[in-house]
A and B are shown apart, each in its own frame.
Chain A
């Protein structure tokens, strides 16, 4: 009798809370960083290295830096001189956009950031309206306001566009255009119709096999050779189309990897329910496939955003090239470090924002269902 009761529990055992972890900062440090002599030495050396590397940067960029002033004379020379950036601030944002018309850019930028905030902040309602505004209304408003020539607004040619507004225009058009095009190409590449499939494969492989610089060169140098001389085909528009087609090929391959990950049974179940091809894709396959490849999609967006700076080779002045142009100003020779660090920071802020948002989105969409 006694022997049996030791191995089995006939009465129901009430559930107990799990043991509390041994706690506190000190124990965490001990187990993670200083668990033995070798580990302790490695930890200390690493910490020292971090401090030695980070500190000079902070010292240069923040503590010893000069923030206010209007000319080179206001730079103390002990740290970074951000006066270079602040005096050129308006050019960095607006490029060569005429001073009197810059309110138009302000409106578009304000709308742009407001809609982004609306879409990104989970608590705000009616995302569908925000998406509709962002994808339909904003482009039209931006087109009319930025380009002008309508409703009594003076025409501002795209060669006067520049700086951050140009970078954001190219990135936004590239992102918004390449994703749907990429989805269509990915579906086409998996199509059962041989001609459609062949066309998509050729398109994707062509654009993926060519460097973006070549695409931009061809769009600005070669394309005019094929269209009559009296037809003016805007340089920015050509670059936008080139960038969109180029990145849609990458996007297509990212989306295709997602499509391939979805079990065949999903499409069959949709078919058995009487759903046609497009409804099946739209309601069943794409929502799952796109969710799976959010990291890949955002990765492509980030690459696209950074590569907008390549338009400098066809004479468009994005953030980077406008800062670079400022560095050749004889009054500001020798401030390249500040210029490039600032340009890097601008790109980093946007790219890091996209990266964080993709992580939040993934986590939010994962809630509720697990496969």
Chain B
């Protein structure tokens, strides 16, 4: 725990990995994101929670432009976001993403899923891409299933493959959009274990999740969002023991109360 905080502190001095300032987004007339300001340091691990519809998924989807925002600025790994396709693709190469429903490609094997981006985006030779992909599959403990199709795996296994697939791009930052919400209870742990390991290796992470145990052990900061704005942002000790906002207290009461 101590060396984790140290790592974040030393990296934080250098530069921010993600800088979001005055971000505003609307779906039609509905104001989903309101004046979001967020700086994520290199190596920092952030957990975002909040009631459904609070805009937390939308926020992280803005970081790799799966959602377009109308106002404000986003800078990822020093690259300012514009509407230019080339710029967007450049940012996406720096950002790995894991989805709630895995979104593996069902017509490709596990290994092919992992090699797609290295081969076609980074133009690596197939052999090299496969070797590197096998290493990542090894790390998420699923290398023995490399030649199976996603449909033949359990939900937990699929999500671990999805994490390996994202890591194969060597991203500077990883986004997790409710990675365990679609899993059966007995599979949540195997995915969280992989995420904890990743965090311990110093990966910059933004993680939308309701797994408060994960937030307590891993997060440098926990962010609470409600109605499109960041209501509270604090280290886990403060966040869980002494939240400032009454809305945070109410939310925590609801999810931790039973």
- Chain A interface (Cβ < 8 Å from any Cβ of B): 263, 265-266, 268-277, 279, 283-284, 287-288, 291, 368-371
Contacts and interface: CB of A to CB of B under 8 A. Distances in A.
The 8 closest A-B pairs by CB, nearest first: A369-B149, A269-B103, A273-B117, A272-B97, A265-B103, A274-B93, A274-B121, A274-B92
A273 B169 contact: yes
Contacts of A283: 116, 120
Contacts of A276: 85, 89
A272 B106 CA distance: 17
Contacts of A268: 66, 99, 103
Contacts of B97: 269, 272
A288 B104 CA distance: 12
Contacts of A291: 107
A90 B107 CA distance: 47
Given A287-B107, A371-B151, A272 B95 contact: yes
B72 to A, nearest CB: 21
Interface of B: 64, 66, 85, 89, 92-93, 95-97, 99, 101, 103-107, 116-117, 120-121, 149-152, 165-166, 169
A270 to B, nearest CB: 8
A288 B149 CA distance: 14
Contacts of B105: 266, 269-270, 284, 288
A276 B65 CA distance: 13
B150 A369 contact: yes
A266 to B, nearest CB: 6
Contacts of A266: 103, 105
Contact of A275 (B95, B96, B107, B117): B117
Contacts of A288: 105-107
Given A272-B92, A284-B116, A288-B106, 12 more contacts: A266-B103, A268-B99, A268-B103, A269-B97, A269-B103, A274-B93, A274-B169, A275-B117, A276-B89, A277-B85, A288-B107, A369-B107
A273 B92 contact: yes
A279 B92 CA distance: 14
A370 to B, nearest CB: 5
Nearest to A371: B106
A277 B92 CA distance: 13
Nearest to A370: B151
Main secondary structure of the interface of A (DSSP, over half): helix
B183 to A, nearest CB: 16
A275 B122 CA distance: 10
Nearest to B152: A369
Contacts of B165: 273
A272 B64 contact: yes
A274 B89 contact: yes
Contacts of A371: 106, 151
A368 B149 contact: yes
Contacts of B151: 369-371
Nearest to B168: A273
Contacts of A274: 89, 92-93, 117, 121, 169
A369 to B, nearest CB: 4
A183 to B, nearest CB: 17
A272 B150 contact: no
Nearest to A265: B103
28 contacts: A263-B103, A265-B101, A265-B103, A266-B103, A268-B66, A269-B105, A270-B105, A270-B116, A272-B66, A272-B96, A272-B99, A273-B92, A273-B116, A273-B169, A275-B116, A275-B121, A276-B89, A279-B120, A283-B120, A284-B105, A287-B107, A288-B106, A369-B106, A369-B107, A369-B149, A369-B150, A369-B151, A370-B151
A370 B149 CA distance: 8
B228 to A, nearest CB: 21
B189 to A, nearest CB: 24
Nearest to A369: B149
Contacts of A263: 101, 103
A265 to B, nearest CB: 4
A271 B116 contact: no
A258 to B, nearest CB: 13
A121 to B, nearest CB: 23
A47 B121 CA distance: 63
A348 B66 CA distance: 49
Contacts of B169: 273-274
Contacts of B117: 273-275
Contacts of B107: 287-288, 291, 369
B153 to A, nearest CB: 11
